[in-house]
Each structure stands twice: as structure tokens, then as C-alpha cells.
Amino acid sequence: MKILVVDDEPDVELLFLQKFRKEIKSSDLSFQFALNGKDAIGFLKTLNPFDLVLVLSDINMPGMSGLELLKIIRTDFPDLRVMMVTAYGDENNYQSAMKLGAHDFITKPVDFSLIRERIKQIRQMQ
């Protein structure tokens, strides 16, 4: 299962690679990383639509916000599942994300056991 993580914090990549090292080593999961929405869209345009299963995106990023990215994904890649991740778990962000078509919403600090569980649920739906 391939996952794209979009977050402007460079440490996020190391954190995901560390927390999911068993799954990566066994080839159960593979991760791609983008530091902003523009790079994420560029990456998505290079894929076969079935190559990627999930996008995990931060909401608050410089340039293109995660919500703006979500709008583009819903238009150009409607079958992709999108999980929004934010340090600002306020009701407005939640409602905006869900209205725009997010499949899930998780607040920071990231609970990796929760993400692991959500990934397992997505896998079962495939």
C-alpha cells in the first residue's frame, strides 16, 4: 500500500519512516513525501491512478494549504482517500475538511497507533 505524506516539517519524514519501519521493511507499506501542496500535486500527476491509496496531508502549510490541496485532489484524483492531519483540531478545520471530502481528520501530535489502525481499515476495504 502506497501512501503520500504532505507536510512542511522535514522531520515528519524521519518520524514516519521510523514509526513504520517494520511495515516498510516487509513491503506492506511504502511512503512518499512532499513538503508542500504544489510538490504533492506534481507527484500525483506522475502516478498511475492505482499506484497510491492514501494521502496524509497537513492542513496548515505555506503556499498551498492542505484544504486547497484537498480540493484539487477531489477534482483531479477523486478515488484517492485523504486523511487530514493538523495541530489545530478546531471544529472549523474539521468541518471544512469533511465538507471538501476528507475521509478522516487526525490532530497532532500524531498518534501513530491510530494512523496504523486507520490504514488497516482502508486495506480491508480494498
The domain made up of 2-125 has a fold known as Rossmann fold (3.40.50)
In Å, how far are 9, 21, 104, 105 from 98, measured between CA atoms? 23, 30, 8, 8
Listed by start position, the domains of the chain span: 2-125
Task: List, for the chain, all residue ranges whose pLDDT scores fall below the cut of 50.
Answer: none
- pLDDT the model gives residue 53: 84
The backbone torsions φ and ψ at residue 83, rounded to the nearest 5 degrees and listed phi first, read -115, 125
Specify the pTM: 0.93
pLDDT tens-digit map of 64-100: 999 999 999 999 999 899 999 988 777 888 999 999 9
Helix (H) or strand (E) holding 66: helix 66-76
Burial 69-106 (b: 16+ CB within 10 A, else e): bbeebeeebeebbbbbbbeeeeeebbebbeebebebbe
